[in-house]
Amino acid sequence: MFEYAPAPESRSVVDLKPSYGLFIDGRFVDPTDGGSFKSINPASEEVLAEIAEGGGQDVERAVRAARTAYDKVWGPMPGRDRAKYLFRIARIIQERSRELAVLESLDNGKPIKESRDVDLPLVAAHFFYYAGWADKLEHAGFGPDPKPLGVAAQVIPWNFPLLMLAWKIAPALAAGNTVVLKPAETTPLTALLFAEICQQADLPAGVVNIVTGAGDTGRALVEHPGVDKVAFTGSTEVGRAIARAVAGTRKKLTLELGGKAANIVFDDAPVDQAVEGIVNGIFFNQGHVCCAGSRLLVQESVADRVLESLKRRMARLRVGDPLDKNTDIGAINSAAQLARIRELSDAGSAEGAERWSPACELPERGFWFAPTIFTGVTQAHRIAREEIFGPVLSVLTFRTPAEAVEKANNTPYGLSAGIWTDKGSRILWTADRLRAGVVWANTFNKFDPTSPFGGYKESGYGREGGRHGLEGYLNV
Amino acid sequence: MSERVAVRKTYKLFIGGKFPRSESGRSYLVQDANVSLASRKDARDAVVAARAAVKGWAGATAYNRGQILYRVAEMLEGRREQFVALGVPADEVDAATDRWVWYAGWSDKLPQVYGGANPVAGPYFNLSAPEPTGVVAVVAPEQPALLGLVSVIAPAIVTGNTVVVAASPSAPLAAVTLAEVLATSDLPGGVVNILTGKITETAPALAAHMDVNAIDLTGVTEAELAADLEVKAAQNLKRVLRPAPADHDWTADPGITRMTTLLETKTVWHPKGV
């Protein structure tokens, strides 16, 4: 293995304050009850900043600010002007992309090459895409005069903090809604920097409100009677609770939840490309990806060859400092998530699957988990059924295409799937039969603002991205 | 000379293309007839029939589904007087027939209107297309007994879903008679299953059923029951169509939301290259 000299990205571009308030009605304010929590760097456990914890009264203030902004400013504003604010935001994100990327890697633990080359370009593109919709809604296919819903309550996860913010806020604002967004408690910092960007863009006060906090804050927000729309990305368990909470209300709900995607490798797939796809599928973003290809289904006749090549490739993955430009796999986002990954991996061994990781030196401080594969996995094993949300791949085999489809669909989830084969008709045959919202054929983990994303079955409902993404924010 | 004694009809359930009595052996007197009082077990049996029909119906070509829905309109037109005799106003029967025709035409158009190519920023083919969600449980509106029923069944099945419908408890004869129309329209058995009886008995079983993908609460008039059914539906994240407002105009253009709520969008990516 090549030795690389360290190539750390500079932190100097980020100007962190010691503490942050809530962003309500265009200003940073102290929480009413004065609670706070710390956001740490998962790669070093160093405290990055003290964050305000929003309580019920803060949620109340934020929803009221959003309602006033909706009634007085954003609702009546012509679409072409809303568009210009969104274009402005997209541009400022591009201009400040390095700062945002470094901050994202600091707070989340993801490698800088991913926050810089994947997250940030997609964030800017998402705002740019939806900006253009704001004055064209009558052409979006939802009737001649689609209307916004009002105030949107949005709760996002920690795996792609700023990208999930973009997926939520951009379509909501383009459609004419105002928002109250709660970022995840372990990754609030880029959302707070985004609040500053809203100020810099002169976005009218109250159109975007950011209320930081944990589960209780999120619950207060989605249960608030003054919100017209709830959008959530996160675990299926919490998604279910939210679906129950909005039952019997007028609130429109979209949910983007967990996954246990099958990545199917047929015997005619080019092995090197498939292996790159498998690695990207499960080790991208430390496997903290709802659409991760966490179940490898490989055709029995080529299983040995694929696994040998996969192991060789895994031995060359560089795990370590997220700010190092050579790093492939960064830090696990939190101690709690690390504990969950360890628990499920231990269950994999206990249930009889065979565990393998490359020799891999992990830093002493922070939260780390070596890239891991399990072979000899059966469909009954917990590691084949439950979402691990970490760099852990479960390998199963199949003999016929029909068996591959059967196994791929044998899950309550249905978010994504992968197909690797040289035969076009087989791709289309398989894609037709997979019960999954996104199917990547001979590629994996590709995203684009024009391309609808979302799941079947217990992976949630509604789509984000594309024309489809507007539907969740319009009264159609 | 004595008058001819009429042959009366037995009004039964419609499950899997057959007309069974309720497994519970119960019936209730409504519209001067003894109508089957469906049990929770009947609801579960209907879900099994609906699930078994998904593969064939979802896999049928859009052209084929469109022709079958049109055939339903043809059969309904022919039985116009029969529905009128049940008390359904003639213009309602006509509107219901026209609604089948309207939806028949959607089968091969919705995927074009609601899907398409996405211009992603990279060398990829990227296509989104709608697919049926699977088995849909439907609480049909109490009134209008025929037009309301057709207006909830047709949008669900035209795209390839199969349904289990809880018919109007106070006016079930139109539903059972519609089942006879469906049974003679080349509609595969199990695509539409109709339960008569109490909503409070069948709907909770359907809402809580883990092999049902979506629930249409259109006909639920009691807010508390609607909320309870939605809570039950959350267990496996069913797609939910909420109750229609009491003043809903069933003769108005239905729009496409009723269809799209019961669809999944699948997006397929593939690299371009040589």
Asked if the Cβ–Cβ distance from A452 to B128 is below 8 Å, we say yes
Residue tagged active-site, from A53, A185, A256, A387: A256
Q: What is the pLDDT of residue A1?
A: 59
| CATH number given to B27-271 | 3.40.605.10
Q: What is the pLDDT of residue B2?
A: 83
- Active site annotation includes A256: yes
AA letter at A229: K
CB-CB: which of B223, B224, B269 is closest to A441? Answer: B269
**Which 3 state secondary structure label does DSSP give A45?**
coil
pLDDT at position A69 is 98
* Subunit contact B269:A443, Cβ cutoff 8 A: yes
Q: What is the pLDDT of residue A33?
A: 81
Full-prediction pTM beyond 0.95? yes
- The strand ranges marked E within A271-427 are 295-299, 354-356, 372-375, 392-398, 416-420
In angstroms, the separation between the Cα of residue B261 and the nearest Cα of chain A is 9
Give the pLDDT confidence score for residue B1 in this predicted structure. Answer: 66
The distance of B172 to chain A (nearest Cα, Å) reads 27
| pLDDT (tens digit per residue) in A157-178 | 999 999 999 999 999 999 999 9
CATH entry 3.40.50.720 includes domain A19-257+456-471: no
Residue ranges covered by each domain of chain B: 27-271
Q: Which residue spans within A225-339 are E strands per DSSP? A: 229-233, 252-256, 262-265, 295-299
Structural contact between residues A464 and B118, judged by C-beta atoms closer than 8 angstroms? no
- Tens-digit pLDDT profile for chain A (476 aa)? 567 899 999 999 999 999 999 999 999 999 998 799 999 999 999 999 999 999 999 999 999 999 999 999 999 999 999 999 999 999 999 999 999 999 999 999 999 999 999 999 999 999 999 999 999 999 999 999 999 999 999 999 999 999 999 999 999 999 999 999 999 999 999 999 999 999 999 999 999 999 999 999 999 999 999 999 999 999 999 999 999 999 999 999 999 999 999 999 999 999 999 999 999 999 999 999 999 999 999 999 999 999 999 999 999 999 999 999 999 999 999 999 999 999 999 999 999 999 999 999 999 999 999 999 999 999 999 999 999 999 999 999 999 999 999 999 999 999 999 999 999 999 999 999 999 999 999 999 999 999 999 999 999 999 999 999 999 999 99
* Per-residue pLDDT at A142: 93
Residues of chain A with Cβ-Cβ distance to B227 below 8 Å are 247-248
The one-character DSSP state at B235 is: G
Tell me how far apart the alpha carbons of residues A385 and A401 are, in angstroms, rounded to a whole number.
Answer: 21
- What digits encode the pLDDT tens for the residues B113-140? 999 999 999 999 999 999 999 999 999 9
Residues from chain A that touch B269, judged by Cβ atoms under 8 A, are 438-441, 443, 446, 451
DSSP codes of every residue in A398-417: ESSHHHHHHHHT-SS--SEE
Q: Which of A434, A439, A451 sits opposite B120 (nearest CB)?
A: A451
User: And the tokens for B115?
Assistant: 């899907």
Kindly indicate whether the domain formed by A262-441 is annotated with CATH number 3.40.309.10: yes
Would you tell me how many other CB atoms lie within 10 Å of the CB of residue B74?
14
Q: Are A401 and A429 in contact (CB under 8 A)?
A: yes
ipTM for the whole predicted complex goes beyond 0.90: yes
* Cβ within 8 Å of residue B249, ≥6 positions away: none
Residues of B in contact with A248 (CB under 8 A): 223-224, 226-228, 230-231
The helix or strand, by DSSP H or E, that contains position A196, with its residue range, turns out to be helix A189-200
pLDDT at A34: 75
For residue B150, is pLDDT > 90?
Answer: yes
Within 8 A by CB and 6+ apart from B88, the residues are: B144, B145, B146, B174
Work out whether the CA dihedral B206, B207, B209, B210 comes out positive or negative.
positive
Peptide bond before residue A322 is cis, with ω within 30 degrees of 0: no
- Domain positions in chain A are 19-257+456-471, 262-441
In whole angstroms, give the CA distance from residue B39 to residue A350.
Answer: 44
Chain B residues whose beta carbon lies within 8 Å of the beta carbon of residue A257: 237
Region of B60 (left: φ > 0; alpha: ψ -120 to 50; beta: rest) is: beta
**Distance in angstroms (rounded) separating the CA atoms of residues A362 and A345:** 17
Q: How far is B246 from chain A (nearest CA, A)?
A: 15
